[in-house]
Chains A and B, each alone.
Chain A
Amino acid sequence: MPETKLSRTEDINRAIRKMVELGEPAPVSGLKGHDTIAVGMPSGAVVQVSGNAGDFFGALNDGGTLTLNGDAGRFAGDLMTAGELILNGDAMWGVGQYMRGGRIMVKGDCKGPAGQLMKSGIIIIDGNVGREVGKYMMGGQIIVNGNTGERAGENMMGGAIFVKGEVRSLGLNARLSKPTIEDLETLRYFHKQYRFRALHDDEAFNDFQKITAESPRPLVGEAPK
């Protein structure tokens, strides 16, 4: 199948959907900042994109395996429910917002927040992440191999954020602790799978800190008796 060489978002997506329906991988090359590419991909879809994506790349992914060899705009993997999204570059604001399942791997930095109001799934960021990572987070895991911006875990209620670098500051209701043995096993598993850049030996895993919620209901306090 020839790689998609269309210029309009609508046409690119239609070509991708056609290949997915045929059960074939859908390669797209020369992407130049197009928004909303490969959204709502179903289980079994394989989409490989080269170039730079605009906003909402792979949003609402419902089980597809999507790879972007380039940088992503804002809100990549937005409200993703299943599947895998691999970004071999940097991502702008808001990776994995509202995520409900699946896995996102960012090989570079996230320039803004990530995983806000996330309910499940895993986001791995091999570089740094911006402010308010995991705000309102209810479940799932975020792994940051670099540093976080300010107010990490702001008003989170569930889930966990693992940070290898510096936590600039903690958000309301967020607390720091050491990862458990089980947590370290999970981190090793993902390192084996994705090869984190900053991890060269096993001892480096000891640098990770874990951010969790102080209380499961930070906004109104404990339930009335």
Chain B
Amino acid sequence: MNDKEVQRKAASGAVRLSSGRPERQLPGLAQLAICPAQLAGRFPVDIFEGIETDVIIGEKSARDPLTLMAPLFIPGSPYGEVGKSARLAFAYGSALAGVAFGTGEGGVLPEEQEICRQFHGKSVISWGPARHGVTPDLLKSGDAVVIELFGHGRGCSTGLWRQERTTEAQAKLWGMPQGMDWVIPPAHLDMEFPEDLRQHVALLRELTDHRVPILAKLGASHVHEEVKVAIESGVDAVWLEALESPLYGAPEVIVEEAGLPLLSLFGPARRAFEETGAREKGVRLLVSGGLGDGGEVFKALALGADAVGLPEAARVAIGCSEGGGGNCHSGKCPAGIATTDPRLEAKLDWKAAGQSLANYLTALNDEVKLLAAATGHTTVRGLSSEDLRALTYDAAALTGIKLAGYERVLPMWMH
């Protein structure tokens, strides 16, 4: 219990809004160690031989699969939550690095489309519960479509774009009326049952004439069951967003409490993949939340992910000094990122910021290559949980990988 918070609630009667990651201590990837190769099965690889890190999504069902040159991507930040300069920086930086960026809800700026044309950028269009700004042309214009299964605040609440925070430019891009709040329902209004996800996949495949991959993004909750439903719905990739993933302008209690930490997702997701034969179907696993350096990315890949999203690290790379969180929902971001105020936005040079993002992604990918070489792999597709050991009993219990010292999987994972 936090006495000051009790007093604040007693005085105001209001729920506090927050931006960023949970502040409480969560079990993390630091509780895992990477095992270099020596005599146990393989030798280290010469880094100069070249390590493959590309990832292909949708190769079995899309006419134009999505190829990422590194196992990384930038999740979407809607225009309005971030300004135009930040959006362009994400599009430009990800294009230079050969990875994809998400559009978030609310459409795509013409300048972003131009960056994609000029620099072969790859966009992932959002199909969320609000559908604000979504048009047939927009859905057809991207390189993939992601069905976001939850709205604002990981689906735990009905979200709102309050009219005080929306601008004329945002309303125009989103195709929305001004003078009223914009609701974000907690779930899709055209999804009556969980199994209806299959219908959405079919709808988007028909609309895009089976050209692009279809992804499903889930908040980390009932992982085993929900990943199975998603796979059986025919998606090309399942994207799990962990509790560590930042939320912007969401109730603090949701930021802190709703969802499961990254470390706990991999075991049940791997089990769901095995039970459904998802690997044979070409389905990929994407994760996001709390990742930012090469070691963390390597560990996520070894635990079963095919690519990782970097929502907060991308903001830091383009100039955020608040660790990708803080007071983003105020609209007064001093770095010119989480704002649509033209005066503040002008502080961010999108081209320079995009180059910084590309530098960061390149360095991150190089770190992954170094660790892959050290563990004896010429491709990240060969990484496995055998490349890792858990340093704590809890981490071994959460992930199902071998506990260092014990050198075996805990008995609870043996059946």
- List residues of chain A with CB under 8 Å of any chain B CB: 9-10, 13-14, 17, 35-36, 39-40, 55-56, 59-60, 62, 74-75, 78-79, 81, 93-94, 97-98, 100, 116-117, 119, 135-136, 138-139, 155, 157-158, 216-217, 219-220, 223-224
The DSSP consensus for interface residues of chain B is: loop
Contacts A157-B180, A157-B181: A39 and B190 contacting too (C-beta < 8 A)? no
> Can you list, as one digit per residue, whether each of B168-189 has a CB less than 8 Å from chain A (1) or not (0)?
0000000111011111010001
Q: Contact between B199 and A55 (Cβ–Cβ < 8 Å)?
A: yes
Known pairs A78-B190, A138-B183, A158-B180; list 11 more (Cβ under 8 Å).
Answer: A36-B203, A40-B140, A55-B199, A74-B192, A97-B190, A116-B189, A117-B185, A119-B175, A158-B177, A216-B180, A217-B180
Which residue of A has the minimal Cβ distance to B181?
A217
Known A-B contacts A93-B192, A216-B179, A219-B160; A62 and B135 likewise in contact (beta carbons under 8 Å): yes
- A127–B168 CA distance with the chains assembled, in angstroms: 39
| Known contacts A40-B136, A81-B135, A117-B189; is-contact A9 B206 (Cβ 8 Å) | yes
- Do the beta carbons of A62 and B160 come within 8 Å of each other? no
Binding site for A on B (CB under 8 A): 130-131, 134-137, 139-140, 158, 160, 162-164, 175-177, 179-183, 185, 189-190, 192, 196, 199, 202-203, 206-207, 209-210
Check B206 against A36 for contact (C-beta < 8 Å).
yes
A219 touches B181 (CB 8 A): yes
Given contact pairs A97-B189, A158-B177, A39 touches B207 in the complex (Cβ within 8 A): yes
Assuming the contacts A97-B190, A119-B177, asked whether A79 and B185 have C-beta atoms less than 8 A apart, the reply is no
* 28 A–B contacts, CB within 8 A, in A order: A9-B202, A17-B209, A35-B203, A36-B203, A39-B203, A39-B207, A40-B140, A59-B203, A59-B207, A62-B137, A75-B190, A94-B189, A98-B189, A117-B185, A135-B189, A136-B183, A138-B176, A157-B181, A157-B183, A158-B177, A216-B180, A216-B181, A217-B163, A219-B158, A219-B160, A220-B162, A220-B181, A224-B164
Known: A94-B189, A219-B158, A220-B160. A56 touches B181 (CB 8 A): no
Q: Does B199 lie within 8 Å of A100, measured CB to CB?
A: no
Task: Give the residue of A36, A79, A136, A139 whose beta carbon is less than 8 angstroms from that of B177.
Answer: A139
Residues of B close to A93: CB separation below 8 A: 192
| Cβ distance A94 to chain B, nearest Cβ, rounded Å | 5
Q: In the complex, A19 Cα to B203 Cα: how many Å? A: 20
Cα–Cα, bound, A83→B55 (Å): 40
